[in-house]
Amino acid sequence: MSQDTLNFILIGLSFALYIAIAFRSKAGSTKEYYVAGGGVSPFANGMATAADWMSAATFISMAGTVAISGYDASRFLMGWTGGFVLLTVLMVPYLRKFNKATVPDFVGDRYYSKLARGVAVGCAIFICMTYIMGQMRGVGVVFSQLFGISITSGVIIGGAIVFFYAGLGGMKGITYTQVAQYAVMAFAYTIPAIYIAMALTGNVIPQLGLIGNYSAGSEVVPFLEKLNNINTELGFSEYTSGKMSTLNMFCITAALMCGTAGLPHVIVRFFTVKDVRAVRKSACWTLAFIAVIYLTAPTIGAFSRVNLIEKLHNTPYSGVPSWFHEFEETGQMAWVDKNDDGRIQYFGPGKSEEGSFTVFLGSKSPEYPAFDAPERQRIGKYGERLLANKADDSNPNELWFGNDIMVMANPHMAGLPMWVIALLMAGCIAAALSTAAGLLLVLSTSISHDLMKNILNPNLSDREEVNYARFASFVALAVAVYFGINPPSQFIAKTVAFAFGLAASSFFPTLLMGIFSARMNKQGAISGMLAGILFTFIYITYFQFLGGTPDQYLFGITPEGIGFIGMLLNFTVAFAVCAFTEPPPEEIVAMVEEIHIPSSHARDNDSCTDKN
Amino acid sequence: MQKEIPRAHRRACLRITLALLAVWFFISFGCSILLRDWLDATMPAVGNAPFGFWMAQQGSIIGFVLLLIAYAFLMNRLDNNHGYTKDK
């Protein structure tokens, strides 16, 4: 059986499963559509949230990022897991108690203002839109590789599938499909890691392998020492010590954590369980399931870096393993023979005077001559695929590879059986679909519930609202598909900073003050939100799109981490304005008191349960 | 009496929250970023990994999971002690 057939079978099976589940748990009412009827078990919700959280980008490129930047990549590992601690202890139990369907709902009611609700809806839509574009692109790329179709048709097929079960099934439909998708993803991620850990370190558990010994070479040495040696020999900085400044590292980690705690599509997941107790339990499961993948990512990164370098560095091109040619074909790896010795050399910035290790000039990813170009322009003298880019002769590095190669090429490098590769493909699609579906739902509810019903037309009936939601999800998806097909160049990668920066500087402080400070009024919250968003937005736009240079950074903080400063600004402005304006009305203060009481049951029976 | 229970409950709840957040800050920002170099040099290695590096890539994540388990356990016990039993 060929690899393609196996891929088809495994992905086909997983699709049949998702659609069957979505069909069985189709939503009827608005409550089922928005929050799955509020009766999902904590365990199932934990799995579903984990699947929602693991996007295609995380699934494919996180291990690659760790492999390339070593310790510095810890900011993502910690930022995207530690945020759940904030989310759980500060946010979701209280928001769940408040018992509304969406996050802008809380902002609008707590700050008794349509303007506040409007700002929140705007942020929610922007955050989800930037995210979902990348997901659709990811689905398209995987489909096009699999079925040999164009990326455009890949994106459209992916969009149709997502619409089918998210648009129709609502939260109830996607929650149960995400449970299945998590299972597929977890196996797809951990099985290759286990194989490689056994091959390189003789340890079955990859996490022990990482701190264990490297046993595949002629002598047994500590694995991380081996990795550090390889790195320094080739002119990279030591794997276990970073080169990012401590302040910057701190700010980025903090921005990612607070951003995570303020992402509307994550918060809304916890509205699907029964009560506050179930929220706490569900959060434990969520983080545990996420940790399975996040604890494996650094091991995959480290192992595959050693594997890649051992297999390719100083190898004659004629002797490279066959997978190298496959990735050359798809444009994920490239070799430029600068010194004309027919061998692949991989060197870091330490080996050149300029401190760079770019392989070719011009764009970040390789460009190729047209298919109808003469053969000598397309194929080099060793049979390699030639690039249209000019070689960068200021450094000796000859090997280029994309970040996502570490996960995708891993099973090939380790010579794993074909079904593992097919499983990986299925896992990758599961990651993209589950995140896209979750985001789509938040987008459609933001539009139908917050914008249509609560701001524009309060007389909407339940039935009409669900139909609006379905219609909104169709429109949102159409926009996402459009941008998936025509990505605004480098835009998507850069918008991640945007999504987290905005969530950290808008939702996180606003929700936090709304829950813990009964004194906070609408003037304070709105001016704080606007100050935070504007500052973050302008800073990121200036440096990412208008050509600001790194030496203009405020305290050397990159745009990734500026959300943290935006958040501090939001707090400061909000409290300052609040101090000079009148306190919120009495019923709001009572409402804030109310959300701190974990269940309504005890309040009715105060007299018989008092222990104090 | 009506107001006493919520207040006592809220104070205790805040104590738990702040204590857990202190641990959270210590293991993530403290051990893995601010004190990392010092920990790498002075603390015993975890397996073959320098302590600070291990905390940043593995230890902190394990710590986060434990924190949430502790939170669920402590808060549910607190609710029981204050008579907030299961809803319905």
Give the number of other Cβ atoms within 10 Å of residue A129's Cβ: 17
**SS3 assignment for A172-239:** HHHHHHHHHHHHHHHHHHHHHHHHHHHHHHCCCCHHHHHCCEECCCCCCEEHHHHHHHHHHHCCCCCC
Q: Please give, rounded to a whole number of angstroms, the shortest distance from the CA of B44 to a CA of chain A.
A: 13
Distance from C-alpha of A220 to C-alpha of A379, rounded to nearest angstrom: 41
Judge if A390 and A256 occupy the same domain.
no
**Is residue A317 in a domain?**
no
**Is residue A15 in a domain?**
no
Judge if A464 and A564 occupy the same domain.
yes
Of the partner residues A284, A295, A596, the one whose CB lies closest to the CB of residue B6: A596
Give the mean pLDDT of A601-609.
40
**Is residue A29 in a domain?**
no
Reported as a pLDDT band with limits 50, 70 and 90, residue A8 is confident
Give the mean pLDDT of A277-290.
88
Which residues of chain B neighbour A298 with C-beta distances below 8 Å? 57-58
Is residue A288 less than 8 Å (CB to CB) from chain B?
Answer: yes
Judge if A370 and A437 occupy the same domain.
no
How many domains is chain B built from?
1
Distance from C-alpha of A499 to C-alpha of A493, rounded to nearest angstrom: 11
Residues 86 to 115 of A: which have CB under 8 A from any B CB? Answer: 86, 88-90, 93
Q: The whole model's pTM is what? A: 0.85
Tell me which of A401, A428, A454 is where a domain ends: A401
Task: Locate A259 and state its tokens.
Answer: 């951003």
pLDDT digits (tens, 9 = 90+) for A34-83: 666 667 788 888 898 898 888 877 787 788 888 888 888 888 888 889 88
Judge if A340 and A193 occupy the same domain.
no
Judge if A291 and A375 occupy the same domain.
no
Is a pLDDT exceeding 50 seen at residue B14?
yes
Count Cα neighbours of A178 within 13 Å in the Cβ-side half-sphere: 34
**Is residue B86 in a domain?**
no
**Is residue B88 in a domain?**
no
Element (H, E) at A316: strand A315-316
Distance from C-alpha of A599 to C-alpha of A37, rounded to nearest angstrom: 18
Give the mean pLDDT of A171-198.
85
pLDDT digits (tens, 9 = 90+) for A230-272: 877 777 777 777 777 888 888 888 988 998 888 888 888 888 7
**Is residue A608 in a domain?**
no
Tell me which of A401, A435, A460 is where a domain ends: A401
Name the residue among A11, A407, A430 with its Cα closest to residue A192. A407
For residue A603, the model assigns a pLDDT of: 42
For residue B47, the model assigns a pLDDT of: 75
Whether residues B2 and A246 touch (CB distance < 8 A) is answered with no
Q: Which residues of B30-52 are buried (b: 16+ CB within 10 A; e: fewer)?
A: bbbbbbbeebbeeeeebbbbbbb
Highest mean pLDDT pick, A1-15, A486-500, B65-79: B65-79
The CATH number linked to A88 is: 1.20.1730.10
**Is residue A82 in a domain?**
yes
Mean residue pLDDT of chain A comes to 79
Give the mean pLDDT of B27-53.
80
**Is residue B87 in a domain?**
no
**Residues constituting chain A:** 612
**Is residue A31 in a domain?**
no
**Is residue A573 in a domain?**
yes
For residue A608, the model assigns a pLDDT of: 36
How many domains is chain A built from?
2
Which residues of chain A neighbour B85 with C-beta distances below 8 Å? 599, 601-602, 609
For residue A455, the model assigns a pLDDT of: 73
Residues 59 to 78 of A: which have CB under 8 A from any B CB? Answer: 66, 71, 74, 77-78
Judge if A364 and A503 occupy the same domain.
no
Name the residue among A206, A241, A252 with its Cα closest to residue A80. A252
**Is residue B59 in a domain?**
yes
CB A388 within 8 A of CB A368: yes
Q: Look up the domain containing A97 and give its range.
A: 42-307+417-598
Is residue A178 less than 8 Å (CB to CB) from chain B?
Answer: no
Whether residues B83 and A611 touch (CB distance < 8 A) is answered with yes
Task: Locate A504 and state its tokens.
Answer: 């950290």
Give the mean pLDDT of A179-205.
85
Share of chain B above pLDDT 70, in %: 90
Judge if A250 and A368 occupy the same domain.
no
Judge if A298 and A373 occupy the same domain.
no
Which residues of chain A neighbour B69 with C-beta distances below 8 Å? 284
One-letter identity of residue A525: A
Reported as a pLDDT band with limits 50, 70 and 90, residue A140 is confident
Distance from C-alpha of A340 to C-alpha of A506, rounded to nearest angstrom: 54
Task: Locate A552 and state its tokens.
Answer: 């203009």
Give the mean pLDDT of B31-59.
80
Give the mean pLDDT of A198-209.
80
Q: Look up the domain containing B28 and give its range.
A: 4-81
Q: Which residues of A307-346 are buried (b: 16+ CB within 10 A; e: fewer)?
A: bbbbbbbebebeebeebbeebbeeebbbbbbbeeeebbbb
**Is residue A35 in a domain?**
no
